[in-house]
């Protein structure tokens, strides 16, 4: 494949960016030289970008977080990108968070002639990052890379529970891979290795709210765990709470086959579902929606919404 003159990679996920750089450079013999756009660029950056390598391989100059550079930088870059240089491959990573499914390319970049030229030549790569809708593709790629298969229902559980950060997701899958052994088949019992269960086991947290001693322990964690007390966990906990609610609802209504868990945990959750009943299980959706609304309207800070989330969950008992 003919190499690109320069490249723009638009994605907020660092691991996906790393993958894409590797795909672009494969077979071309370029050495990766990485610099960071949220730091002051040194003379070494400009020298690597402008002076051909006389010894060793040609340079792929990768500028991470390039969206943090100012107008002066991009104005200067225009003249450099207009020159064809076989021994230098500039690659700009625009890592701003996407909004409403659309990339946020700075106007100082999108207004430049080099941006239009890159788009016309297919030198712009855009990826919104992982989502619950696309995470299955990453699971398939991981399975293909390692010769794995997923037991019935396991892939669905992973797609619903794994983090939407590629590096974190792969770290979790690497743990499960060790448990799969020579059979190369991921079984429901292997899911106990997930960090989501180790770092915050929501089911255990909900069970603890049933007793005074358990409630005291839950509140101690809420007050003393920095991620919980600061509100950083409110959205992960909300997501896990909805997942638990769906499972409890299905188990309560005899849809056991749709809940893929190892048997002992499924039995335990079914007992809890029967104890709570449909009215109290359905309250989980109200609780999560209220927390989401409070934060997004600015009525409450995340830490306050997290506290309310636990209070309302406690009232279910």
Distances (CA, A) of 28 to 8, 20, 57, 198, 270: 18, 14, 10, 43, 56
> What's the CATH class of domain 7-126?
alpha beta
Split at pLDDT 50, 70, 90, the class of 124 is: very high
Task: Identify which has the larger pLDDT, 63 or 188.
Answer: 63
Q: Which of 190-194, 198-202, 303-307 has the highest mean pLDDT?
A: 303-307
Q: Which helix (H) or strand (E) holds 167?
A: helix 166-180
Per the prediction, the chain carries an average pLDDT of 85
Q: What is the pLDDT of residues 110-119, one digit of tens each?
A: 988 899 999 9
- Give the pLDDT of residue 266: 82
pLDDT score for 196: 41
Which of 239, 207, 200, 242 lies closest to 221 in space, CA to CA? 200
Which H or E element spans position 108? helix 107-110
In the predicted structure, residue 129 carries a pLDDT above the cut 80: yes
Mean pLDDT of 168-191: 84
Question: In Å, what is the CA distance from 261 to each residue of 107, 155, 170?
Answer: 48, 12, 21
Mean pLDDT of 127-155: 90
Q: Give the mean model confidence (pLDDT) for residues 156-162.
A: 85
Angstrom distance (rounded) from CA 292 to CA 242: 12
User: pLDDT tens for residues 263-284?
Assistant: 777 888 888 889 889 998 999 9
Q: Give the pLDDT score at 312.
A: 87
Section 143-155 average pLDDT: 90
Rounded (5°) CA angle 120-83-87:
100
pLDDT at position 59? 94
**Six-digit token pair at 156?**
């669905």
19 token code pair: 């993958």
Using DSSP's 3-state secondary structure scheme, residue 251 falls into helix
- 190 or 137: whose pLDDT is higher? 137
* Alpha-carbon dihedral sign for residues 141, 147, 152, 157: negative
| pLDDT greater at residue 181 or residue 139 | 139
pLDDT at 229: 67
Range among 81-95, 191-205, 214-228 rated most confident: 81-95
223 token code pair = 């007050």
Report the run of H or E that residue 92 belongs to, with start and end. Answer: strand 88-94
Across the range 305-317, mean pLDDT stands at 83
């Amino acid at each position: 494949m003919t190499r690109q003159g320069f490249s723009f990679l638009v994605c907020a996920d660092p691991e996906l960016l790393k993958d894409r750089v590797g795909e672009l450079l494969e077979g071309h013999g370029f050495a990766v030289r990485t610099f960071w756009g949220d730091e002051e660029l040194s003379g070494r950056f400009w020298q690597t970008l402008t002076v051909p390598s006389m010894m060793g391989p040609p340079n792929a100059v990768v500028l991470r977080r390039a969206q943090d550079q100012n107008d002066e930088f991009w104005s200067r870059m225009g003249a450099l990108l207009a020159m064809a240089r076989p021994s230098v491959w500039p690659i700009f990573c625009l890592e701003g968070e996407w909004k409403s499914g659309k990339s946020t390319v700075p106007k100082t970049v999108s207004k430049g002639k080099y941006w239009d030229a890159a788009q016309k030549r297919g030198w712009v790569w855009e990826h919104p990052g992982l989502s619950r809708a696309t995470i299955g593709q990453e699971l398939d790629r991981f399975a293909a890379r390692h010769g794995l298969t997923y037991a019935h229902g396991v892939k669905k559980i992973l797609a619903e529970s794994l983090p939407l950060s590629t590096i974190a997701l792969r770290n979790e899958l690497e743990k499960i891979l060790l448990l799969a052994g020579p059979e190369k088949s991921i079984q429901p019992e292997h899911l106990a290795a997930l960090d989501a269960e180790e770092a915050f086991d929501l089911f255990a947290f909900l069970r603890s709210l049933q007793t005074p001693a358990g409630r005291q322990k839950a509140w101690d964690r809420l007050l003393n765990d920095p991620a919980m007390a600061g509100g950083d966990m409110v959205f992960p906990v909300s997501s896990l709470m909805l997942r638990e609610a769906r499972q409890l609802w299905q188990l309560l209504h005899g849809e056991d086959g749709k809940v893929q868990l190892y048997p002992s945990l499924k039995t335990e959750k079914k007992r809890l579902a029967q104890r709570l009943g449909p009215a109290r299980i359905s309250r989980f959706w109200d609780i999560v929606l209220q927390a989401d609304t409070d934060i997004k309207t600015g009525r409450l800070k995340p830490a306050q919404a997290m506290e309310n989330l636990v209070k309302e969950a406690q009232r279910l008992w």
